[in-house]
Amino acid sequence: MGRGKVELKRIDNKISRQVTFAKRRNGLLKKAYELSLLCDAEVALIIFSARGRLFEFSTSSRNLLGEDLGPLNMKELEQLENQIEISLKHIRATKSQQSLDQLFELKRKEKQLQDVNKDLRKKIQETGADSVLQMFCQDVGPSGSSGHANQANQQEYFHPDCDPSLRMGYDHAYLDHLNKE
């Protein structure tokens, strides 16, 4: 008599989930061992628990991690060294390619921003700086709000001792006052 079909969904009860994980993990490790033994297959299995613990099984030695090197002869050590060098070259090539891709993307964005900046400068030159500043002051106030009420409140946002050339916008009455002095 077999077991009924189990519905595959996350087990809500934490303790039941951990018990099931431990049982199924052990069963999976056993099956991996049996497969490697019965079929003379190389099998590697890596399992991470919900807490991040590592469980592993491998039919081949773990020499790539630098373990169990003592019984290896010179030829096997050289083969292992070559394998590691090839893997390292592949990793470095992938890293370099990703860095280049990122660099090209950043250069593309820089070019795009330069084009936008160039267009804005051209608009300023075409319309004249005074009208652009007036449009800016009318459309967007210091608080980010729109409207013409901003012009009446400009005085309070600018310090009277500041150099007028350093201001984002300017008040005509204030400049007339400076010119009379």
Look-up of token digits 């210091």: 142
**Distance between CA atoms of residues 43 and 177, nearest Å:** 87
Token code pair at residue 3: 């077991």
The structure's pTM equals 0.37
Do 167 and 157 contact (CB within 8 A), yes or no?
no
Do 47 and 25 contact (CB within 8 A), yes or no?
yes
Do 27 and 20 contact (CB within 8 A), yes or no?
no
Question: From the CA atom positions of the chain, what is the Rg in Å?
Answer: 36
3-state SS string for 75-116: HHHHHHHHHHHHHHHHHHHHHHHHHHHHHHHHHHHHHHHHHH
Task: List the pLDDT tens digit at each of the 181 positions of the chain.
Answer: 567 887 889 999 999 999 999 999 999 999 998 998 899 888 888 898 888 888 888 887 676 666 777 877 898 888 888 888 888 888 899 899 999 999 999 999 999 999 999 999 888 888 876 665 666 666 555 554 444 444 444 444 444 454 555 555 555 565 565 566 5
Quickly name the fold that domain 10-62 has: SRF-like (3.40.1810)
Q: Phi and psi for 57 in degrees, rounded to 5? A: -145, 135
